Amino acid sequence: MKKIKTGDQVIVIAGKDKGKKGQVVRLLGDKVVVEGVNQVKRHQKPNPMRGIEGGVVTKSMPLDISNIAIFNPETQKADRVGIKVEVVDGKAVRSRFFKSTGAAVGA
């Protein structure tokens, strides 16, 4: 089980966008794309077949997963994530929790 998933609220802890918060859009191995963070401008060719206009486009680029931390809304700070394994009806069920408070992530 991964400690950071798509849709998690995260905060950047290192780099040019340090302190910015955003939501995880995509996971790319050991990199993540966070909405509104690490934005760059790229020139894009028009493609009339797909309905894409040409010009300068702003888009979010991937960040290394080590440069972000999950955001804990209770403490309003960056936090670490742990994984609990509980046995329910004979099946192992894994759940994520904040290390500082012990509260479940996303609950």
Contacts of residue 51, defined as CB under 8 A and 6 or more positions apart, other chains included, come to: none
- Range of 36's domain? 9-75
The phi and psi torsions of 29 (rounded to 5 degrees) equal: 70, -115
Residue 37 lies in a domain: yes
Residue 16 lies in a domain: yes
Residue 2 lies in a domain: no
At 106, is the pLDDT very low, low, confident or very high (cuts 50, 70, 90)? Answer: confident
Residue 25 lies in a domain: yes
Residue 46 lies in a domain: yes
pLDDT, tens digit (0-9, with 9 covering 90-100), for 26-71: 999 999 999 999 999 999 999 999 999 999 999 999 999 999 999 9
CATH assignment at residue 43: 2.30.30.30
Residue 92 lies in a domain: no
- Residues 37, 15 contacting (CB under 8 angstroms): no
Structure tokens at 42: 């790229």
Cα 3 to Cα 68: distance, rounded to the nearest angstrom: 12
**pLDDT given at position 107:** 59
Query: Which residue do the tokens 């909405």 mark?
Result: 35
pTM: 0.83
pLDDT, tens digit (0-9, with 9 covering 90-100), for 65-74: 999 999 999 9
Query: Which residue do the tokens 């609220």 mark?
Result: 9
Number of domains into which the chain is organized? 1
At 103, is the pLDDT very low, low, confident or very high (cuts 50, 70, 90)? Answer: very high
Residue 47 lies in a domain: yes
Residue 42 lies in a domain: yes
Sign (positive or negative) of CA dihedral 97, 9, 67, 75: negative
Cα 98 to Cα 80: distance, rounded to the nearest angstrom: 6
